[in-house]
C-alpha cells in the first residue's frame, strides 16, 4: 500500500513550485523579497525587517552552459549554475528579489558575486573563516549590523533590537519543530523518506516561524498517525545512509535517488539543504540579539571554516541519533574545501564510529550515474558484511 | 549431483564467463568482445551451460539482471573474491580494466572493507594503454616488453588520453626513441595508480588483476615504486568472473 505523501498538497516532489507559490502570495500582500544563496545569510534579521528571504536557484545542469560563456568550466557546478540562472534570467526567485545577500564563503563564489552585482544590487558579507578567534565574533557581528544598514537603506525602513529578538524566538521554535520532524527519520525503519525531508526543508528554511508553525504541527500529527498505522519506508534490513558534504538539490539529488534505487534509505541529509540549517539554537534574551545571531551562524560547521572541528562533533551527534549503517560524503566537483576535508571525515567515521565510508565526487550531469551506482552497491555490500 | 555455477563479468571491452563445480573448481572459461549488444554476447557465452545459478558482475550486470533474471554483485566484491581464490591471503587487490581502475582492501575476515575507484576518465586504464600502444605502433601484447627495454625514461605530463596522445606525437616528431616514450607512458600511469593504492591499503603484497596486469612493465614499475610484491594470477582478466562464480556457488550453499 502506498504511503500518503506527507504534505499531500499536489506539489510533493516539486518543492520549488510550492515555495514560489508562497513567495508570489507574499509579494501580492506587499512584502518585499531578498535573495539569499547560503546558510550563512542571517534569516532572523531579514525576517525581523518584514522582508522575505528567497533561496535562489543553484542546482540545475541546464544553465551551466550559459554560465560557461563567462566563467571557467573547471569551477564548482553550484556557482556555475547560480550564475547561469542569473545570466539567462531563468530563476524566478531572482526575478522576484530586489536585492541579494551573499557571503565570502569561497573564492569561486565571491568572484562570481562581483559579476552578479552587474545585474542586481548585491550585498556581500565578509565571513570570518577562523571561527574560534575572538575577532571572528566581533567582525561577524559588525557584518550583520552592516547588512542591517544595507537593508534599512535599500528598503527604506528601520528595525529594532526587540523585533530581531522576536524573530530569533520564532526561528528557534520553527527549528525545534523541524528537529522533531527529522526525528521520525531516526526510527528503524524511518517514517520519512529523503524526498519528504528535502521538501519540508525547502519550504521551512525561508519561512517565518509563526507562519509555518501550524503546517509543521500538522505534519507532526500526520507522522504520529504513520507511526500508529505502522507505515514506514524500507525494512529493518535496508541499509541506512547518512549523506554529508556539499549542499544537495535539484540535479544533485541523483545521489539520494541512486542510494534509494540501490535499496538504501537516506536517513540523514547532513548538508545546508538538509538538516544542518535547523540544528543550531540562537541564544535568547541576551540583550544583544545581533551578537547572538552572529554566534549561532559562526557555529555552522561548513568546510569553509578552519579548523572545522565542529563538523566532526556534529557528525558524531548525527550518527548517534540516526544510527546509519554507512556514510556517504558528497563532494561537488571543484569544491576544494569539502574535497580536502573529506579525508578527515573518512578517518573520523571509520576510526570513531567503525562505519563504512564512501566519498562521491560528482557534478549535476547524469554521465556518472552508473559508476555512482556501482560504488553505492559496493558500499552496501561492505555494510551488510 | 554435479551442479555447476557460473560467473559472468560483462566489462566495457570484453565479457568473461567462468563456470565452477560444487567444489569451486573451474570447469570452463570463455571470453568474447562485449561489442554493441552486451546481452547477445552474454547469451552466446552462456549457451550450452546449464548452471544452477548465474551471478553477473561488471558494468553490464544490471542489464543482465533484467534480461536474464539473474543475480548481481559489484565488480569490487567479485574481484576481491576472485583474488582470494588465486591467493588465499590477499589483503590488497589492484584491478585495472578496460575503462576503470580500482584498489580494494580486504580485512582479516576476508571481506572488503574499503575501496577506491577511478572511473572519471580513461586515464590510467586499459583503454589509455591501448591508445598509447597504437600511437607508438605497438601491439598491446608487446607494449610492456618494449618499454622495459628502454635505456631511459621520458617524463610524460598529460594523463588525459587525448592530450597524452598529442604529447606522444610531438615527442615522436622530436625524434625521441619509441621505447623511451613507451616507458615514460608506463611510469606516468604507475605514479597515478600507486597514489591510489597508497590511499586505500598501505602495506603487504598486491594481487594485480584485470587485463593490464598482463603487462610486465606495469608490474615491474609498481613493485619498484611501492616497494611491495606484485602477485599475478594465472588469468588476471578472469578474476571478476571467477569471483562471481564462486559467490554464486556460496550464495547457494548458505541459503
Q: What is the DSSP letter of A13?
A: T
Closest Cα to residue B112, out of A260, A268, A379, A276? A379
Contact A357 B114 (CB under 8 A): yes
Positive/negative CA dihedral, B224, B226, B228, B230? negative
Positive/negative CA dihedral, A141, A147, A149, A155? negative
Contact B114 A370 (CB under 8 A): no
Q: What is the DSSP letter of B53?
A: E
Give the Cα separation of B90 and B25 in Å (integer).
19
* Neighboring chain B residues of A385 at a CB cutoff of 8 Å: 109, 111-112
Closest Cα to residue A57, out of A48, A69, A66, A49? A66
Contact B115 A378 (CB under 8 A): yes
Cell of A249: 538539490
Beta strand extents in chain A (DSSP E only): 32-36, 51-55, 97-103, 122-125, 240-245, 265-270, 326-332, 357-362
The C-alpha cell 561489442 sits at B35
Contact A382 B112 (CB under 8 A): yes
Domain B1-87+237-255 has CATH 3.90.1170.40: no
Q: In the A/B pair of chains, how many CB contacts fall below 8 A?
A: 38
* Neighboring chain A residues of B112 at a CB cutoff of 8 Å: 378, 381-382, 385
Cell of B214: 598482463
Contact A374 B59 (CB under 8 A): yes
Positive/negative CA dihedral, B189, B191, B196, B201? positive
Label residue A110 exposed, middle or buried (CB < 10 Å: 0-12, 13-18, 19+): middle
B190 touches B222 (CB < 8 A): yes
Q: How far is B213 from chain A (nearest CA, A)?
A: 22
Within 8 A by CB and 6+ apart from A28, the residues are none
Nearest CA in chain A to B76: A378
User: Does the CB of A382 have a partner CB in chain B at under 8 Å?
Assistant: yes
- Please report the pLDDT score of residue B124 as a whole number: 78
- The whole domain housing A374 covers 1-385
Radius of gyration of chain B (CA): 19
Contact B112 A385 (CB under 8 A): yes
pLDDT in 10s for each residue of chain B, 255 residues: 578 999 999 998 899 999 999 999 999 999 999 999 999 999 999 988 888 899 999 989 988 888 887 899 999 999 999 999 999 999 999 999 888 899 999 999 999 999 999 866 777 788 899 999 999 999 999 999 999 999 998 988 887 888 888 899 999 999 999 999 999 999 999 998 999 999 999 899 999 999 999 999 999 999 999 999 999 999 999 999 999 999 999 986 544
Say which of B74, B109, B114 has its CB closest to residue A374: B74
- Please report the pLDDT score of residue A82 as a whole number: 98
Say which of A374, A382, A385 has its CB closest to residue B75: A374
User: Does the CB of B13 have a partner CB in chain A at under 8 Å?
Assistant: no
- Please report the pLDDT score of residue B1 as a whole number: 54
pLDDT in 10s for each residue of chain A, 385 residues: 689 999 999 999 999 999 999 999 999 999 999 999 999 999 999 999 999 999 999 999 999 999 999 999 999 999 999 999 999 999 999 999 999 999 999 999 999 999 999 999 999 999 999 999 999 999 999 999 999 999 999 999 999 999 999 999 999 999 999 999 999 999 999 999 999 999 999 999 999 999 999 999 999 999 999 999 999 999 999 999 999 999 999 999 999 999 999 999 999 999 999 999 999 899 999 999 999 999 999 999 999 999 999 999 999 999 999 999 999 999 999 999 999 999 999 999 999 999 999 999 999 999 999 999 999 999 999 998 7
Give the Cα separation of B63 and A3 in Å (integer).
29
Give the Cα separation of A334 and A311 in Å (integer).
20
Nearest CA in chain B to A374: B74
Domain count, chain A: 1
Q: How many residues would you count in chain A? A: 385
In CATH terms, the superfamily for domain B89-232 is ATPase, nucleotide binding domain (3.30.420.40)
Contact B115 A374 (CB under 8 A): no
Give the Cα separation of A256 and A81 in Å (integer).
20
Give the Cα separation of B100 and B95 in Å (integer).
8
* Neighboring chain B residues of A370 at a CB cutoff of 8 Å: 59
User: Does the CB of B166 have a partner CB in chain A at under 8 Å?
Assistant: no
Give the Cα separation of A41 and A37 in Å (integer).
8
The secondary structure of A272-336 as a DSSP string is TTTTGGGT--PPPS-S-HHHHHHHHHHT---TTSSS-HHHHHHHHHHHHHH--SEEEEEEETT-H
Give the Cα separation of A75 and A206 in Å (integer).
27
B148 three-state secondary structure: helix
b/e code A237-247 from CB counts within 10 Å (16+ = b): ebbbbbbbbbb
Q: What is the DSSP letter of A61?
A: S
* Neighboring chain B residues of A357 at a CB cutoff of 8 Å: 114
Closest Cα to residue A261, out of A344, A127, A377, A345? A377
Greatest extent of chain A over all pairs of C-alpha atoms, in Å: 62
* Neighboring chain A residues of B75 at a CB cutoff of 8 Å: 374, 378
What CATH code is carried by the domain that includes residue A64? 3.40.50.11900
B112 three-state secondary structure: strand
Q: How far is B114 from chain A (nearest CA, A)?
A: 7
The count of other CB atoms within 10 Å of the CB of residue B214 is 17
Q: What is the DSSP letter of A105?
A: -
Within 8 A by CB and 6+ apart from B142, the residues are none
* Neighboring chain A residues of B119 at a CB cutoff of 8 Å: 368, 371, 374
Every domain of chain B and the residues it spans: 1-87+237-255, 89-232
- Please report the pLDDT score of residue B100 as a whole number: 86
Q: How far apart are the first and last CA of chain B?
A: 17
C-alpha atoms less than 13 angstroms from C-alpha of A136 in its C-beta half-sphere: 16
Helices and strands: H and E segment counts in chain A? 15, 8
Contact A378 B74 (CB under 8 A): yes
Q: How far is B141 from chain A (nearest CA, A)?
A: 28
Give the Cα separation of A338 and A245 in Å (integer).
6
The count of other CB atoms within 10 Å of the CB of residue A307 is 12
Chain B interface, best mutation among A382, A383, A384, by max B CB count within 10 A: A382
Amino acid at each position: 500500500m502506498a504511503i500518503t505523501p506527507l504534505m499531500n498538497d499536489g506539489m510533493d516532489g516539486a518543492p520549488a513550485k510550492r515555495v514560489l507559490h508562497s513567495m508570489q502570495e507574499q509579494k501580492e500582500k506587499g512584502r518585499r523579497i531578498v535573495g539569499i544563496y547560503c546558510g550563512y545569510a542571517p534569516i532572523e534579521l531579514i525576517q525581523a525587517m518584514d522582508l522575505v528571504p528567497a533561496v535562489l536557484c543553484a542546482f540545475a545542469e541546464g544553465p551551466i552552459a550559459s554560465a560557461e560563456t563567462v566563467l571557467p568550466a573547471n569551477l564548482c557546478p553550484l556557482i556555475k549554475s547560480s550564475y547561469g540562472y542569473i545570466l539567462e534570467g531563468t530563476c524566478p526567485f531572482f526575478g522576484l528579489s530586489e536585492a541579494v545577500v551573499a557571503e565570502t564563503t569561497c573564492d569561486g563564489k565571491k568572484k562570481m558575486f562581483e559579476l552578479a552585482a552587474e545585474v542586481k544590487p548585491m550585498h556581500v558579507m565578509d565571513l570570518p573563516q577562523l571561527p574560534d578567534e575572538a575577532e571572528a565574533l566581533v567582525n561577524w557581528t559588525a557584518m550583520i549590523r552592516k547588512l542591517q544598514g544595507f537593508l534599512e537603506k535599500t528598503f527604506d525602513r528601520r528595525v529594532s533590537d526587540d523585533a530581531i529578538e522576536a524573530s530569533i524566538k520564532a526561528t528557534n521554535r520553527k527549528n525545534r519543530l523541524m528537529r522533531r520532524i527529522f526525528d521520525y527519520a531516526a526510527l528503524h525503519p524511518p517514517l520519512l523518506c529523503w524526498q519528504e525531508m528535502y521538501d519540508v526543508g525547502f519550504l521551512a528554511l525561508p519561512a517565518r516561524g509563526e507562519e509555518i508553525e501550524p503546517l509543521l504541527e500538522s505534519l507532526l500529527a500526520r507522522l504520529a498517525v504513520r507511526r500508529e498505522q505502522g507505515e514506514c519506508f524500507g525494512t529493518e534490513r535496508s541499509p541506512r545512509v547518512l549523506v554529508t558534504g556539499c549542499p544537495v538539490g535539484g540535479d544533485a539529488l541523483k545521489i539520494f535517488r541512486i542510494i534509494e534505487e540501490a535499496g538504501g534509505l537516506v536517513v540523514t541529509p547532513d548538508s545546508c539543504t538538509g538538516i544542518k540549517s535547523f540544528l543550531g539554537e540562537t541564544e535568547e534574551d541576551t540583550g544583544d540579539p545581533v551578537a547572538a545571531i552572529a554566534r549561532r551562524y559562526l557555529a555552522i560547521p561548513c568546510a569553509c571554516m578552519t579548523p572545522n572541528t565542529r563538523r566532526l562533533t556534529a557528525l558524531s551527534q548525527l550518527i548517534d541519533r540516526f544510527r546509519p549503517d554507512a556514510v556517504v560524503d558528497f563532494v561537488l566537483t571543484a569544491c576544494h574545501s569539502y574535497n580536502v576535508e573529506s579525508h578527515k571525515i573518512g578517518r573520523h567515521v571509520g576510526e570513531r564510529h567503525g562505519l563504512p565510508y564512501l566519498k562521491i565526487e560528482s557534478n549535476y550531469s547524469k554521465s556518472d550515474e552508473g559508476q555512482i551506482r556501482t560504488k553505492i552497491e559496493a558500499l552496501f555490500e561492505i555494510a551488510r558484511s | 549431483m554435479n551442479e555447476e555455477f557460473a560467473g559472468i563479468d560483462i566489462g566495457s571491452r570484453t565479457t568473461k564467463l567462468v563456470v565452477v563445480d560444487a567444489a569451486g573448481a573451474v570447469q570452463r572459461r570463455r571470453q568474447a568482445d562485449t561489442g554493441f549488444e552486451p546481452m547477445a554476447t552474454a547469451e552466446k557465452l552462456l549457451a550450452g551451460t546449464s548452471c544452477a545459478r548465474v551471478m553477473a558482475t561488471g558494468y553490464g550486470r544490471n542489464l543482465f539482471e533484467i534480461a536474464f533474471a539473474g543475480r548481481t554483485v559489484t565488480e569490487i566484491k567479485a574481484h576481491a573474491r576472485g583474488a582470494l581464490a588465486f591467493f588465499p591471503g590477499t589483503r590488497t587487490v589492484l584491478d585495472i580494466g578496460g575503462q576503470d581502475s580500482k584498489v580494494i582492501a580486504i580485512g582479516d575476515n576476508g571481506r572488503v572493507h574499503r575501496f577506491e575507484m577511478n572511473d572519471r576518465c580513461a586515464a590510467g586504464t586499459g583503454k589509455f594503454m591501448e591508445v598509447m600502444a597504437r600511437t607508438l605502433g605497438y601491439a598491446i601484447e608487446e607494449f610492456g616488453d618494449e618499454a622495459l627495454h628502454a635505456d631511459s625514461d621520458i617524463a610524460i605530463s598529460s594523463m588525459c588520453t587525448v592530450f597524452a596522445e598529442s604529447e606522444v606525437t610531438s615527442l615522436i616528431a622530436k625524434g625521441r626513441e619509441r621505447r623511451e616514450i613507451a616507458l615514460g607512458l608506463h611510469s606516468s600511469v604507475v605514479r597515478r595508480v600507486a597514489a591510489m593504492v597508497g590511499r586505500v591499503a598501505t602495506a603487504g603484497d598486491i594481487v594485480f588483476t584485470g587485463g593490464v596486469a598482463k603487462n610486465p612493465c606495469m608490474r615491474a614499475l609498481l613493485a619498484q615504486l611501492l616497494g611491495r610484491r606484485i602477485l599475478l594470477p594465472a588469468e588476471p582478466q578472469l578474476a571478476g568472473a571467477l569471483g562471481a562464480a564462486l559467490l554464486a556457488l556460496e550464495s547457494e550453499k548458505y541459503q
